[in-house]
Amino acid sequence: MKALVPVKRVVDYNVKVRVKSDGTGVDIANVKMSMNPFDEIAVEEAVRLKEKGIVTEIVAVSCGVSQCQETLRTAMAIGADRGILVETDAELQPLAVAKILKALVDKEQPGLVILGKQAIDDDCNQTGQMLAALADLPQATFASKVEVADGRAVVTREVDGGLETVSVALPAVLTTDLRLNEPRYVTLPNIMKAKKKPLETVKPDALGVDVGPRIKTLQVAEPAKRSAGIKVADVATLVAKLKNEAKVI
């Protein structure tokens, strides 16, 4: 069975982003970029399924500018067998990415598509579900445990209040939650090997997908600042402040 793993290049999770002063967006020039943390978990899960003999080939996919190649190389260093870059300079929204992935699912016929549950830049949490809808596949989102057997995936999902287990017929779309696994570190020999793995580049047009944005960003602003707080010396002062000033207890 083939696994398709979409990965996104995003601003590194440790970077504190700044809003551009003209309100057109977030300043991402010269900041560190890396693979979306949830996507690393997705690649790791695919690699573990390959190590168990369930998955035979892992195809990593990234959509965006040419620098996304680096993200694909990282995925290949973790253990993906080959990469596909859908190259475009256009601003891609989840619906467009889902349509691109749908075209690739049609072409590659994977048994499993494993995505991160959300990207930490747009915080959308949509692409996996949209892909499942477009490809008419069942979905198991926010997965914290995956077992594949007998043409089905039994997936434990993180839901509000606890856990839920569903069984989905393959092919299916899974999205990863943080607790699914701990991604491995890439080693230098694997980084070198990853450079030799095949990386194919296609354009959205070649896949017949219109990537035009449906949502216009009118403005990006800083969130309201909290006014500076005070340091209290001891617990008695804290209790007094909470009672008399803030009136919250």
Partner 1 sequence: MTALVIAEHDHGALKGATLNTVAAAAQLGEVHVLVAGANAAGAAQAAAQIAGVSKVLLADGASLAEQLAENVAAQVLAVASGYSHLLFPATAHGKNVAPRVAALLDVAQVSDITKVVSADTFERPIYAGNAIATVQSTDATKVLTVRTTGFDPAAASGGSATVETVVAVADGGTSRFVGAEIARSDRPELTAAKIIVSGGRALGSSEKFTEVLTPLADKLGAALGASRAAVDAGYAPNDWQVGQTGKIVAPQLYVACGISGAIQHLAGMKDSKVIVAINKDPEAPIFSVADFSLEADLFTVVPELTGMLP
Gyration radius of the chain over CA positions:
21
* Binding residue count for partner 1, defined by CB under 8 A: 79
Q: Which of 29, 123, 150, 208 binds partner 1 (CB under 8 A)?
A: 123
- 7-40 in b/e burial notation, b at 16+ Cβ within 10 A? bbbbbeeeeeeeeeeeeeeeeeeeeeebbbbbbb
Per-residue string for binding with partner 1, 19-58, x by CB under 8 A?
x------x--------------------------------
**Rounded Cα gap, residues 74 and 62, in angstroms:** 11
| By CB under 8 A, residue 159 contacts partner 1 | yes
**CB 193, min distance to partner 1, A:** 30
Q: Which bin fits 235, alpha (ψ -120 to 50), beta or left (φ > 0)?
A: alpha
Instruction: Write the binding mask 135 to 154 for partner 1: x where contact by CB under 8 A, - elsewhere.
Output: --xxxxxx-x---------x
Instruction: Give the residue, chosen from 95, 104, 146, 202, that forms a contact with partner 1 under the rule CB under 8 A.
Output: 95
Contact 142, 118 (CB under 8 A): no
Query: Binding residue for partner 1 (CB under 8 A) from 124, 193, 195, 205?
Result: 124
Per CB under 8 A, 196 contacts partner 1:
no
Is-contact 139 158, C-beta < 8 A?
Answer: no
Secondary structure class of 15 (helix, strand, coil):
coil
**Of the listed pieces 1-9, 64-72, 106-114, 241-249, which binds partner 1 according to CB under 8 A?**
241-249
Interface with partner 1 (CB under 8 A), residue from 6, 79, 94, 111 = 94
Q: Counting contacts by CB under 8 A, is residue 169 touching partner 1?
A: yes
